[in-house]
Amino acid sequence: GDLVSATQLTGVFSAKRVGDLLPFCHPVTVDFVEVQVRVNEEDVEVRATVGGIGRTGYEMEALTAVSVALLNVYDMCKGVDSTMVIEEIRLTEKSGGKSDWERDLSGVRVNVLSPREDLREIAVGYLKKLSAEISRDAHLLLILGEPYALEERISAFESVVAFHDFRRDPTGAGSEIRIGRDREGRLVVLIPESEDKLRFFFETFGGVLRSLL
């Protein structure tokens, strides 16, 4: 069958049935659903945009649309490749409800400082996936394994990071990741000279950096 059309239809249908699929997610009126499907040489990408006139956000409808649409891709293609993996389902932008949220860092200038070039390259790779601009004239400083004076600490966010790091690795000595602002008012993230800590931070909290700026 037509993989693209079937996947789009599945996504649209799923976005409108979230209340039936998730027992603790109350039903909302969905006024708009767009499901985009792109078939690449080695993978299939699905993106969903969902909206309505309700006061709540529609992130669960969008995430459900993508998730079930990808299950349809698996169902239609499993006869060709049963080793397929569904991965990287994430929210990229939300407006409405209790808060607005955007994962994309387009327009945000970031400077990455590290004595280790390999760590810097990893960080730059994550930032480019978030559409950030790498620049010395930065809104955000990402400092890896170097001391830096913070004028103000964002303690509440640091506590959240430490909590998730402890859940991930209870044997560790704490996240040792510091977030704050310098004298020029720039957002600063201090991460130890550790690839493990760097990847943990971006994979867990990369999407909320814009909200701290």
Residues labelled catalytic? 75
Calculated CA dihedral for residues 12, 13, 14, 18, nearest 10 degrees: 110
Phi, psi of 73 (to 5 degrees): -60, -45
- Tokens standing for 25? 């997610």
Residue 143 near residue 113, CB atoms below 8 Å: yes
Dihedral sign for Cα atoms in the order 171, 180, 190, 123:
positive
Residue 111 near residue 78, CB atoms below 8 Å: no
What is the DSSP secondary structure assignment for residue 190, as one 8-state letter? Answer: E
Three-class HEC string of 106-175: CCCEEEEECCCHHHHHHHHHHHHHCCCEECCCCCEEEEECCCCCCCEECHHHHHHHHHHHHHHCCCCCCC
Residue 89 near residue 63, CB atoms below 8 Å: yes
Strand partners, 207: none
